[in-house]
Amino acid sequence: MHSAAMWERFRKQLLHLFRRSDNVGPVALAIVIGLAGGAAAIVFRYLIVGADWLFFQGGARALPFLSDAYVIALPVLGLVLVSMMVRRFAPEAAGHGVPEVMYAVKKQGGRIRPRVVLLKALASALCIGSGGSVGREGPIVQIGSSVGSTIGQFLGLRERRVRLLVACGAAAGIAGTFNAPIAGVLFALEVILGDFAARSFGLVVLSSVTSTAVCQAVLGAEPAFPLTRIFALVSYWELPIYLGLGLVAGMVSLCYVQVLTWLEDLFARWRWHYAIKAAAGGLAVGLVGYIGVRFLGGRYLFGVGYDGIEAVLKLDVPVGLDWGVGVGLTVTALLMLCGLKILATSMTLASGGSGGVFAPALFIGAMLGGAYGMLVGELFPGVTAAPGAYAIVGMGAVFAGSAHAPITSVLILFEMTKDYKIILPLMIAVVISHLIASHLKQDSVYTVKLRRRGGLTPPPGHHSVLDLVLVADAMSTEVQCVEPGESVVSLAIQFHGGGPSSYPVVDRGRDELLGIVSRRDVESALVAGPADDRTAADIMTRNLFTCTPDQPLREVMATITRQDVEQMLVVDKDRAGKLLGILRRSSLLWAYGELVSEHSRLLSEAGVDLGAGGESVQLSLEVSARDRGIAFKRIREIRVPERCLIVMLRRAGKALVPRGDTVVEPGDALTLLCTPEAEAGVRRWMEQLSA
């Protein structure tokens, strides 16, 4: 008891020191997190080396009768151990690592359990060391972020501060692992926070630089990929060729994300025991890796794959076109490695492995770029660089397309290779790849998982009831429209007879929204002169303020207020020219008033007091059939924690204010409202539902 009191007193003294100054406390914490992140990166790297020695060296001694085929069994054993570990102690330690950190930042106020630091390090080291085809950037981001979150929670800091410390930890991890302080900063701001505020930038830089200094002191200052020569642009005629590489890289990065998502969904649908899933995935990874060892000349498909990248980057002179297999890094071999790495990485993660997707993206890009460089070198020998130059550009382009992070891609490739002369082609290919991939698929390799967990919806701190209601709940589908050929005189007669203040102009033949014509537009046309030959298409407004059915009313309310409009047209999310309905200001305010009134009544009946400021926390709960104690039960039968209330139920895209006899069904999304003090208990209750 005495030691507990001393520990609490120490915590309060630190918190008091932190709050005394807006500069000294945060700066000190940023440096501490940088030191811890750098140390974690060093330990994690040695853990991977140790696990690799244990599995591959030990496996060769233990299984000599299998010859070189013993490598097939290693990922099976590793993935089974990893799945058992994370499922028992920390389920959030499975997977990439980055989406889990993003979810914590956006939905949990930056809170990450302290145990993730140890579990993620051990699980990922075992996964990578046994041959799992994943990288170390995702784990170190989650490890560093966990360190920052743990420190913030220990000090009792507010959510905004904890989120910032999480970003500091992520930057420290990336910077220390890849000896890339600038890229660490950009990754934390561009991917984790999505915010480049000056305050965030300064503290994240401190953590990143501190971590880099620690790692360089222990591991040296060599770049992640030392080059045998500096690659440069041979001719300005080469720029269109690099643009072509960007196009191809964009499509390949899209394929990478799609295959990974598809296999994760496939494994999730299987009703097998998790250990059987892990063994099946491990066997597939082992077979793919064995192909690399037996036929392609190395362990390129096992682990992070940096040896394969370094081999491609050493292609520093133009080589002849060779389509053979088994005779070195030929075009065929490089293309095979590119496709097989996508499969191996996807199988590793889908079956329950723990590791990052960044290193595999670099590997895929290097193989793709190397093969592309060989082809264009044969076609245009006088104006093209060596294949190694295209490998560097391919690495950045594939990562940019898969992560939707072009700024980070350019800077991290520069820092990892120290080759500035290739920056111009790198920027061109990265931007083209990003544009292609983001246009064809909304989500990146990180956010596709985040969106499915609801991590892209407003965070819990937003407690306006307008966050709970979508446009679909308040819009009207009965809309009076006019044809583009409607005469101004006819429109004037319609407006004179009363009715709406404006009409959407719709081409009914093509079912396409063209614009909107208002009473003011007609009056201006009549004042300007004879309008007998003028139509709605001539005077309509084409610059429209529209919304989609899935947008929260809070977002739409801000637009309506800022633009001072009475209504907004509701269009299809996937086809902006298709009119679905109309949202009027009066309907929006009515929906708001009804919800406020209903929620106030329910809160009063439930005895939930939100305090003097009315501060509340909103939590979202996706209901599945496994959620004992809530699925198939009436609202009145559900035992929610104290100072908590179920205030919204969304089913099939529609919002309902739940009544006592409302039955909760699998697939429903419940919104819970609670006080800040009760939040931790409510989250534990939610975690226990499906345990």
Annotate 141-175 with DSSP letters as a single string: HHHHHHHHHHHHHHHT--HHHHHHHHHHHHHHHHH
Is the pLDDT score of 523 beyond 80? Answer: yes
Please check whether the domain covering 607-689 is classified as CATH 3.40.1190.10.
no
Is the pLDDT score of 657 beyond 60? Answer: yes
Mean pLDDT over each residue of the chain, to the nearest integer: 80
Q: Do residues 413 and 443 touch, judged by C-beta distance below 8 A?
A: no
* C-alpha torsion sign, points 206, 211, 217, 223: negative
- The CATH classification of domain 13-219, taken from the options 3.40.630.30, 1.10.150.120, 1.50.10.100, 1.10.3080.10: 1.10.3080.10
Q: In which residue ranges of the chain is CATH 1.10.3080.10 found?
A: 13-219, 236-452
Distance (Å, whole) CA 648 – CA 470: 12
Is the pLDDT score of 510 beyond 60? Answer: yes
What pLDDT does residue 592 have? 57
Stated length of the chain = 691
Q: In which residue ranges of the chain is CATH 3.30.70.1450 found?
A: 607-689
Query: Could you tell me how far CA 317 lies from the centroid of its own chain?
Result: 38
Of residues 571 and 554, more confidently modeled: 571
Of residues 410 and 455, more confidently modeled: 410
Please check whether the domain covering 236-452 is classified as CATH 2.60.40.1260.
no
What pLDDT does residue 461 have? 42
Distance (Å, whole) CA 528 – CA 287: 77
CATH class label, 465-588:
alpha beta
pLDDT tens digit sequence for 136-160: 888 888 888 888 888 888 777 777 7
Residue 249's pLDDT band (boundaries 50, 70, 90)? very high
Residue 1's pLDDT band (boundaries 50, 70, 90)? very low
Is the pLDDT score of 52 beyond 80? Answer: yes
**Cβ neighbourhood burial of 507 (10 Å; 0-12, 13-18, 19+):** middle
Residue 691's pLDDT band (boundaries 50, 70, 90)? low
Count Cβ neighbours within 10 Å for each residue of 125-142 and write b for 16 or more, e otherwise. bbbbbbbbbbbbbbbbbb
Is the pLDDT score of 5 beyond 70? Answer: no
Count Cβ neighbours within 10 Å for each residue of 22-47 and write b for 16 or more, e otherwise. eeebbeebbbbbbbbbbbbbbebbeb
Is the pLDDT score of 396 beyond 80? Answer: yes
Residue 233's pLDDT band (boundaries 50, 70, 90)? confident
What pLDDT does residue 322 have? 55
Q: Specify the range with the lowest mean pLDDT, choosing from 104-113, 119-128, 355-364, 412-421.
A: 104-113
Residue 386, helix vs strand vs coil: coil
Count Cβ neighbours within 10 Å for each residue of 412-421 and write b for 16 or more, e otherwise. bbbbbbebee
Cross-strand pairs, 517: 503
Half-sphere exposure of 391 (CA within 13 A, CB side): 31
Is the pLDDT score of 596 beyond 60? Answer: no
- Stretch 635-656: mean pLDDT: 72
**Which CA distances in Å does 239 have to 357, 374, 425, 548, 687?**
28, 16, 6, 40, 53
Which residue, chain included where needed, has tokens 């040896």?
Answer: 307
Which residue, chain included where needed, has tokens 């507010």?
Answer: 158
